[in-house]
Amino acid sequence: MPDRLARAIAVIEEAAILATRFFHARDTIETRTKRAQDFVSEADTTVEALIRERLAEAFPGEAIVGEEMGGTIGNAYWIIDPIDGTSNFLRGSPLWGISLGFVRDGRPELGVVALPALKQLLAAADGTGLFLNGKPCPRDIPFAEVRLMSLGDSLSDDIDDIAALHTGLRRSGWIVEGFHATSIGLAFTACGILDGHLQKTTTMWDIAGGAVLVREAGLEVRIGHDAASDAYWIAAGTGALIEATERLWPAIATAS
């Protein structure tokens, strides 16, 4: 495993311990609302602060951007989602994660995603393959005839547009899951639980870490960016899912 990836893993391992403490004490932590059904908690800000501190120690001088504390996006930077799936976290669902990515020239090239409640940490960098809890993790696909994928959502999405994509996928033979945590959808895709994850509106902090995992697991990853809104989209998964999705969501055919 490359030293750079190992150091990033160590940062997220420590963050996962802290986040787990907050998860077990979630009834007592402070929360506030960014907008309707969009929450931020004391856990989000404290975990991001720890990750920033440890990244600065491990990678001096490198730029850092985070969901809660911002930062300047340049040619190369670390990007953090300290608690992805805050709503799940606050309700006691185990389906939340910590996502860290390193992006160079707009392309994620290193990713670490911790799923603390599931006791899993997935990591990859360009050319490394996928690691699960520190060990190489070839993608295992039990019952490949089960066509299972996840569809992400955003408060910015057009509800009818997402409903049409959901319906089209179902009619194409896919079972469509929804986890409200992008890191879960991408991590589950990388390790073979899902065939893929689609999301029409997302952010770089949501997708940077998980996109690398999926790519290094041998699957296809397409990312697009709308400069006007600064929103991203992602289509990640098997060739069969991407092909089916192109008929329903033609925009993904123009990106790579």
Residue 195 labelled as part of a binding site: no
Contact 208, 108 (CB under 8 A): yes
Quick one: average pLDDT of 28-43? 66
Tell me which residue has tokens 């504390």. 69
Does pTM top 0.85 for this prediction?
Answer: yes
3-class DSSP assignment, residue 22:
helix
210 lies in the same domain as 90: no
Residue 83 labelled as part of a binding site: yes
Number of domains the chain is built from? 2
pLDDT in tens, 143-160: 888 999 999 987 777 788
Quick one: average pLDDT of 116-140? 96
109 lies in the same domain as 194: no
The model's confidence at residue 39, banded by pLDDT at 50, 70 and 90, is low
The residues facing 83 across adjacent strands are none
**245 vs 1 pLDDT, higher one:** 245
DSSP string for 187-231: HHHHHTSSSEEEEEEE-HHHHHHHHHHHHHTT-EEEEEEETTTTE
Query: Domain range holding 10?
Result: 3-136
Q: How far apart are CA 5 and CA 190, in angstroms?
A: 17
Quick one: average pLDDT of 4-9? 98
The model's confidence at residue 67, banded by pLDDT at 50, 70 and 90, is confident
Quick one: average pLDDT of 16-43? 77
What CATH number corresponds to the domain at position 95? 3.30.540.10
Answer whether residue 55 is part of any domain.
Answer: yes
What CATH number corresponds to the domain at position 238? 3.40.190.80
Answer whether residue 141 is part of any domain.
Answer: no
Answer whether residue 209 is part of any domain.
Answer: yes
Amino acid at 218: G
Tokens for 21, please give them. Answer: 């403490």
Contact 205, 80 (CB under 8 A): yes
Distinct helix (H) and strand (E) counts, the chain? 7, 14
Task: Return the pLDDT at 72.
Answer: 78
Answer whether residue 45 is part of any domain.
Answer: yes
**253 vs 59 pLDDT, higher one:** 59
Tell me which residue has tokens 């800000």. 45
Residue 67 labelled as part of a binding site: yes
166 lies in the same domain as 94: no
Task: Return the pLDDT at 32.
Answer: 65
Residue 81 labelled as part of a binding site: yes
15 lies in the same domain as 110: yes
pLDDT in tens, 157-210: 778 889 999 999 999 999 999 999 999 999 999 999 999 999 999 999 999 999
Q: How far apart are CA 208 and CA 112, in angstroms?
A: 9
130 lies in the same domain as 157: no
Handedness of CA 184, 190, 196, 202 (dihedral sign): positive
Answer whether residue 229 is part of any domain.
Answer: yes
Q: Compute CA distances 144 → 129, 178, 179, 191, 251, whole Å.
A: 21, 20, 21, 13, 27
125 lies in the same domain as 49: yes
Residue 13 labelled as part of a binding site: no
